[in-house]
């Protein structure tokens, strides 16, 4: 029997990348959804259905007809967890590309129900969060004890994504957030404390800033001994960092807390990056530094990933887990972030089959 996969928001840049990955690596039938009455892409490899998530009965029916649901209909800041709930009721496995702690918290509340139903539900499965979390898990496994996790993300221009990702960025600037620092939760202001990080070529030394990500709170839960978790984000060209810093720290709060203000800034940003993408590219860099004790000495395990297209890399992250579920190579009933669910050996085998090259190095350092 052919497996069927339902991709909610499958017409968006990230959703379409996930769909492309699945048809490239599995024999599954892929069904993508959108709110348009017809499929504007005309891609014969995917079946298209018109679906609004607010139409609960139609959503319930669509979920009941598949073996796997992948939720790509962001932004996730204000999404409820109804899709997970319906998947659990139908006994259907679930993945998503969510990237905000408010949604992750809602999703994790369904853990016990998913365990009872035998449903594997993995959240935050894209590139960051997603592949980044698995890079951290790999680093943690190299150390005897872990004390500090430092994640740095960099995106060139638009990253090949649409206005939804721009909305996510500006929504992430709205409020301070809690981070695990020196063994306690401390409030951090987004897009502050610029730090220069050494990324591999073609990026080199580039600035990153505090940014609210789900892994800021899921990693301390997954690795209870860790004392500090830092998540920072930056853009290329660097002047976008200064514009984002101004939006976070200088603009009146009403500008980015008003939906119309977020919409305006998102469309302006998408237009600007559409121009600069021509020379900046649309790639992504992820750097994971895990510091702790190894053989009685302090050491840092560093992982670096570079890919020329951010959206495609996100598709790899989600598509690889989808492949494992569809092929019956992986299951873990419950609701989990990636780092608590996906074994490192499976992670490495699937990403390497997609040509993703992750460079690993050791560095002796002080915490």
Mean pLDDT split into 10-residue runs, the chain, 367 residues: 91 92 96 78 79 94 97 89 98 96 96 98 97 98 98 84 63 83 96 94 93 95 98 87 72 67 66 69 94 96 96 96 97 98 96 94 70
The whole-number pLDDT of residue 367 equals 41
Q: Please report the pLDDT score of residue 262 as a whole number.
A: 63
- Taking only the tens place, the pLDDT of each residue in 350-363 is 999 999 989 999 98
Where exactly does CATH 3.30.360.10 map onto the chain?
131-310+357-364
Q: What is the rounded radius of gyration, in angstroms, for the C-alpha atoms of the chain?
A: 20
pLDDT of residue 74: 83
Q: Side by side, which strands form the sheet with 93-96?
A: 46-50, 29-34, 4-8, 68-71, 93-96, 120-123, 334-337
Which residues have C-beta within 8 Å of that of residue 28, sequence separation ≥ 6? Answer: 2, 3, 4, 5, 22, 68, 322, 326
CATH 3.40.50.720 intervals, the chain: 4-126+312-353
Mean pLDDT score of the chain: 89
Span 155-167, pLDDT tens digits = 987 666 666 666 5
Q: In the chain, where do the E strands start and end?
A: 4-8, 29-34, 46-50, 68-71, 93-96, 120-123, 145-156, 177-181, 184-188, 195-198, 205-210, 228-236, 284-294, 297-307, 334-337, 358-364
Q: What is the pLDDT of residue 216?
A: 95
> How is domain 131-310+357-364 classified at the architecture level of CATH?
2-Layer Sandwich (3.30)
- What's residue 171's pLDDT? 65
Which fold is adopted by the domain 4-126+312-353?
Answer: Rossmann fold (3.40.50)
pLDDT of residue 366: 44
> If we measure between CA atoms, which residue out of 148, 153, 134, 211 comes closest to residue 180?
148
């Amino acid at each position: 029997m052919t497996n069927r996969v339902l991709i909610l928001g499958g017409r968006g840049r990230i959703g379409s990348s996930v769909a492309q990955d699945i048809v490239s690596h599995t024999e599954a039938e892929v069904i993508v959804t959108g709110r348009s009455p017809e499929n504007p892409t005309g891609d014969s490899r995917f079946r298209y259905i018109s679906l609004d998530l607010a139409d609960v009965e139609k959503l319930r029916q669509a979920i009941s007809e598949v073996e796997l649901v992948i939720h790509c209909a962001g932004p996730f800041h204000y999404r409820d967890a109804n899709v997970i709930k319906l998947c659990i009721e139908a006994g259907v496995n679930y993945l998503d590309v969510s990237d905000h702690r408010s949604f992750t918290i809602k999703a994790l509340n369904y853990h016990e129900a998913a365990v009872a139903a035998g449903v594997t539900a993995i959240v935050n499965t894209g590139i960051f969060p997603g592949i980044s979390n698995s890079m951290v898990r790999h680093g943690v496994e190299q150390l005897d004890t872990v004390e500090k996790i430092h994640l740095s993300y960099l995106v060139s221009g638009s990253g090949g994504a649409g206005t939804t990702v721009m909305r996510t960025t500006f929504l992430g600037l709205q409020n301070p957030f809690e981070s695990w620092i020196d063994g306690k939760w401390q409030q951090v202001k987004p897009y502050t404390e610029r730090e220069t990080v050494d990324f591999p070529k073609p990026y080199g030394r580039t600035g990153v800033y505090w940014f609210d990500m789900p892994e800021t709170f899921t990693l301390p839960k997954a690795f209870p001994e860790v004392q500090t978790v830092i998540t920072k984000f930056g853009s290329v060209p660097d002047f976008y960092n200064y514009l984002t810093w101004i939006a976070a720290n200088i603009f009146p709060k009403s500008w980015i807390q008003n939906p119309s203000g977020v919409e305006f800034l998102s469309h302006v940003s998408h237009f600007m990056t559409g121009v600069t993408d021509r020379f900046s590219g649309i790639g992504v860099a992820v750097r994971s530094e895990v510091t702790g004790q190894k053989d009685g000495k302090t050491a840092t395990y560093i992982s670096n990933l570079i890919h020329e297209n951010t959206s495609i890399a996100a598709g790899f992250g989600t598509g690889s887990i989808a492949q494992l579920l569809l092929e019956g190579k992986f299951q873990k009933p419950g609701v989990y972030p990636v780092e608590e669910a996906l074994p490192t050996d499976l992670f490495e085998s699937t990403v390497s089959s997609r040509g993703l090259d992750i460079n690993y190095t050791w560095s002796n350092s002080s915490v």
